[in-house]
Structure formats: structure tokens, C-alpha cells
A and B are shown apart, each in its own frame.
Chain A
């Protein structure tokens, strides 16, 4: 059996997205900036896609800027808000310790540019409290950025409440909604969001396409200069087939959200219940509120990369927050941020499901993970020490 369970890393393109994109690659080649027919047709496709995306997110079409993906959207959002702050003499930016690196590394750069970066701690349940944001905001704050749902542990943040606080205090609020859009309801108006990032390939759209939403009145700073595309804020000939495929995929995801969420949650719950039977294991992050497809476990006494290699041999594709899979010495910054000890964080496994997975696959995953954990524990000196009482179990 083959089970693709790494949908938080990327998804397969849906039939809808493919059926939108492939014909457009053939016929929609016109440059949307050109005045002749084939160019104007492309322009029409582009603006229709903009309207579709805006409708899905509760935004106005002129608030939607197409980018090359979530990382670019995050980079541009943070830089833009920082520049707005600078013009007003405000230099403090508040974010959290468990953001995606597209946010954290952008903040590192803003720090070298003189901004004061405050990274909030994350509760052990993987949820940031609105009060933490309220307490951190000062007269000098120009931006708050908190992700909508975490990419590793799937915990959903109280975005609406945080947005309300920011609005009351007159601070720009950005959220990285890359894992949330298309999976759980996201509405920029209801959720008090000023800026938001989206990536197409997380909801069965193509790679290389994303969205930056910026509320009317927020002046963007260009990352890419060189043309009047995207209202002059993002130069480069538009990837019309990709953008239209993204719009189609997002619309499909939003139209079927309730049904998909029910199905995927059932798979997630089956896997969480099954893996909870493994001794000295634990679910990372609160069980609720959690993205419908996210399962993230730690297993004591073993290392994540070996789990992944073993699972791959069994036909299961997953990911891990172990150091060995990241190419750095430290395990996942997300797991460390929620207080998981290093030695446990190395033994983490993330399984992320989507609506094309089945309950039968869920059962196969549980059975396989149990086998792999047992096998690896049996050759682990750490596990032997834990089992013989030489060392104490942490979980």
C-alpha cells in the first residue's frame, strides 16, 4: 500500500487544478499586459482568478497580490509593514517563536535593519494566547505577525481575537495562513486581518504560486522591481495558468471544506488514537483546535530520520522534526518552542493527511508506525537504558 501522508509539505495537484492549468498553458500564453486579443484574454483570466481568490478569503479583488508563493508573500508582508512603521517612527515587531522560517528569517533581516523583534513564547499546547499579544504591544509596535495554523503541529491560533487586539491598538496584523487557507475557514474581514499569506500547493494547486492579501490602505514595498504588474507592487509577467489553477483549487477547497474536513478529521483521529497506544509516545500540540489533517507524535528512544526511512520502505511518506532531516544540529524549532526536550524532539513524526487518503490507509499507517517504532527501539541504547531503569522516561 502506498500512503502519501506529507500534505503539509506539499499536495498533489487536483484534477480541477490540472484541468484549469493545462489548457491555459497552451492557449493562455498571452502577456496580460499586452493590448492585443490573446494578451487581453490572459488579463481577463487573471482578473477572474483575482476575484475568485478574493471571494474565498473575504477580501476585495484589489487587495489580492499574486506572488511566487507563501515565502515571498511572508517576506513582502513583513518588509512592507516594517517600512510603514519606520515612516511613523515605530520599530517594534511582535511575532512568535514557532513561525515558519519565511517569517523568522525575514525578521532576522529586519533586526539587522534596526527593528526590535519580540518573539512570543508558545504555550506547551502549541497555542499563543491573545493576552500575550496584548501585553507585548507598545506605542512603538508597528506589526504583529502570528501564523494562522502551525505547519508542524497543526495547532490553530486565536487569530480573530489577536486581530481584534491589533485593530484596537492600531497595529498592522499579518498572518501566515499557508497551512490554513482551503482547509479551515479563513476570512480576512471577520478575522480582523490586515495582511495574509497563502501558498497554492498546500491545497492541491501548483507550486510557485501564492497570494499576498493586503488590506486597502496598506502600502506595499516591492521585493521585485521592474514593471506595473500587480498594481506596481510585484513586477514580473504574471503566471496566468498557475494563478488560475490556484484560484480553481482554492475555490474547490472552500466549496467542499465542510465535507473534506469531516473526512480528513476522521482519518486524523483514527491515527492519533492508534498511535496513542504506543507506550512512551505523545501527541505534540493540543488535540483541538487542530488542522483536520495534522498528526504529530514524539516517540521516546528513537530518532526521526530512521522512522521516515523505514516508513518509506513500507510505502508511507511522512516527515520529521529531527535534526537529521533538517541538516542542522537542532531539532524542530517548533517542538523546542512548545517545550519538547531535545532528545524527545529528535524522535518526532509528522503525518499530514488530505481528503484523498482513506481510513484503510489510516489503519495501515498505525500498524506500520507501531512496527517501525518497536524495531528501532529494539536497537536503541537509549531505549535499553530507559527500559532497564538506567535512565528515566520523560514521556
Chain B
């Protein structure tokens, strides 16, 4: 059995929406290089609709695939819908991720939220803070834990 599903490998081999948007309406970057994962999401927003999205990722196969899938899931969608995207939805769309790679899908969700938050702040648009501060189930805080919960 392979480490990753065919869908993960497809998005890893042929990532959708890789790149940069010049003069983006919102940018979000999460993760850190010390831990080995960084995701950066660029958004173009028109009338509360995500008209374009690009990503750059430093990370493993599942990090790249999660970024790619997440951008596909929010492209052309209203912000309200993009804000509802969960890491579980990203992982499910990828036909699953190994348990110790679930944090990659969390990063994807967080990167999108960070980009939307950036857009709200830049444009002085009021927003519901709760939508951005919710701690995800299964989220793993490297600073606090040091090793993955399921690592032997």
C-alpha cells in the first residue's frame, strides 16, 4: 500500500493554482520553516467572491497536496463559504491523509483563514473574531508538544 492516496499523489504531481498573485487582496502565511511546513495563500476577491487563488508551499507531499486541494475548494466561492472550509473537508477531498499528516490539512485551512483575515483588516471590514480563533480538533501545537501524538 502506498503512503498516500491516488488523489494526494495527483495533487502533489500536478498541483493546481501554484504561484503568486501580484497585488493580491489578501495574503495568509502559516507554519514555520523550523517545523518544516510553510503555506502561503494569495487571494483575489471581487464582491466577496474569491475570483482567483494561488499558493506557495514549503513542505512535504501532503502539505503541497493539501494546499492544492484547498485552493480548488474555495476558488470561485463566496468568502462566507471559504471561511467554513474545515481541515477535515480538505483531507476527505484528498481521500484521506495518514494520521500524522493531518496537520497539513489544518495548515491549509489556517492559511485560507489568514488570507481572508488579511483582506478584512486591509479593507477595514468588520468580522466575527470567533471565526478566526477557533482551535481545531486534532490540531497539534508543535511548540507545546514536540512530537506528534501518534508517534511511537
Contacts and interface: CB of A to CB of B under 8 A. Distances in A.
A381 B147 contact: no
Contacts of B146: 329-330
Contact of B12 (A309, A324, A327): A309
B139 interface: no
A383 B34 CA distance: 14
B94 to A, nearest CB: 14
Interface of A: 301-306, 309, 313, 322-325, 327-331, 342-343, 346, 379-384
30 contacts: A303-B36, A303-B37, A303-B58, A303-B60, A303-B63, A304-B60, A306-B60, A306-B63, A309-B12, A322-B60, A323-B35, A323-B36, A325-B60, A327-B100, A327-B151, A327-B152, A328-B148, A329-B35, A329-B36, A330-B146, A331-B36, A342-B35, A346-B36, A379-B15, A379-B64, A380-B57, A380-B58, A381-B58, A384-B20, A384-B56
A279 B39 CA distance: 23
Given A322-B36, A328-B147, A306 B64 contact: yes
Contacts, number: 80
Contact of A329 (B19, B63, B147): B147
B151 A306 contact: no
B33 interface: yes
A381 B56 contact: yes
Query: Interface SS of chain B: helix, strand, loop or mixed?
Result: mixed
B36 A324 contact: yes
B58 A302 contact: yes
Interface string B110-152: 0000000000000000000000000000000010011110011
Nearest to B140: A329
B70 interface: no
Contact of A383 (B39, B58, B101): B58
A105 B63 CA distance: 30
B78 interface: no
Contacts of A328: 147-148, 151
A304 B142 CA distance: 19
Top-4 shortest CB links A-B: A324-B60, A305-B60, A343-B33, A381-B40
Interface string B57-70: 11111011000000
B29 interface: yes
Nearest to B59: A303
B79 interface: no
Contacts of A380: 38, 56-58
A382 B60 contact: no
A338 B13 CA distance: 33
A305 B146 CA distance: 19
Given A342-B33, A381-B40, A382-B33, A327 B60 contact: no
Contacts of A346: 33, 36
A309 B61 CA distance: 7
A383 B56 CA distance: 10
B18 interface: yes
A381 B107 CA distance: 14
A379 B100 CA distance: 23
A225 to B, nearest CB: 26
A302 B38 CA distance: 10
A384 to B, nearest CB: 6
Contacts of B100: 327
A306 B59 contact: yes
B13 A324 contact: no
Contact of B59 (A324, A329, A383): A324
A342 B34 contact: yes
Interface in B5-33: 9, 12-13, 15, 18-20, 29, 33
Contacts of A306: 12, 59-61, 63-64
Contacts of B64: 306, 379
A392 to B, nearest CB: 12
A302 B146 CA distance: 21
Given A329-B145, A342-B34, A381-B38, 15 more contacts: A301-B58, A303-B37, A303-B59, A309-B9, A313-B13, A324-B36, A324-B60, A327-B100, A329-B148, A330-B147, A343-B33, A380-B57, A380-B58, A381-B58, A384-B20
A346 B31 CA distance: 14
